């Protein structure tokens, strides 16, 4: 006769182990170096070439040039965190940060605009 209960020893062994889960948000885990969170942009060094906009599949980045003034707009609610903008940027002013808890009930807070001289 085949009796049920093959998992009993394992289950009782598990009682002695630390929890595999943590109490989020009181505790949170650390992100690896390569983690792709919210896009971080540094206007210093941006040439306004628009490669980030061109390669953004989600159309989350809009770059507009008005004479020598460049406006760089980023909508994190549209962003899908693929990191292609950072890879396409010739001057490496776009990086992916570690920020991930981005939920907000204020839609305006998702928009970031940088306006600067070329």
Site of interaction with other proteins (CB under 8 A): 2-8, 10-12, 14-15, 17, 19-23, 32-36, 51, 54-58, 80-84, 87-88, 96
As measured in angstroms, the least distance from the Cβ of 36 to other proteins is 4
**Which residue, 69 or 101, has its beta carbon nearer to other proteins?**
101
Least gap, CB of 21 to other proteins (angstroms) = 5
Other CB atoms within 10 A of residue 98 CB: 13
Closer to other proteins at the Cβ: 13 or 67? Answer: 13
Which structure tokens are listed for 104? 């907000």
Residue 73: beta bridge partners?
62, 113
> Least distance to other proteins from the beta carbon of 52, Å?
12
Closest CA relative to residue 63, chosen from 82, 34, 41: 41
Q: How far apart are CA 89 and CA 56, in angstroms?
A: 11
* For other proteins, the closer CB: 46 or 79: 79
Closer CB to other proteins, 21 or 68, in the complex: 21
Rounded Cα–Cα distance for residues 33 and 97 (Å): 9
Q: How far apart are the first and last CA of the chain?
A: 80
């Amino acid at each position: 006769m085949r009796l049920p209960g093959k998992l009993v020893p394992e289950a009782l062994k598990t009682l002695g182990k630390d929890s595999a889960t943590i109490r989020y948000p009181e505790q949170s885990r650390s992100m690896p170096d390569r983690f792709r969170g919210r896009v971080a942009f540094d206007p210093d060094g941006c040439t306004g070439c628009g490669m980030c906009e061109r390669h953004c599949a989600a159309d989350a980045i809009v770059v507009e040039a008005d004479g020598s003034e460049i406006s760089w707009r980023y909508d994190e609610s549209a962003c899908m965190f693929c990191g292609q903008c950072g890879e396409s940027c010739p001057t490496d002013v776009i990086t992916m940060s570690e920020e991930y808890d981005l939920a907000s009930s204020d839609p305006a807070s998702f928009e970031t605009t940088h306006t600067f001289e070329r």
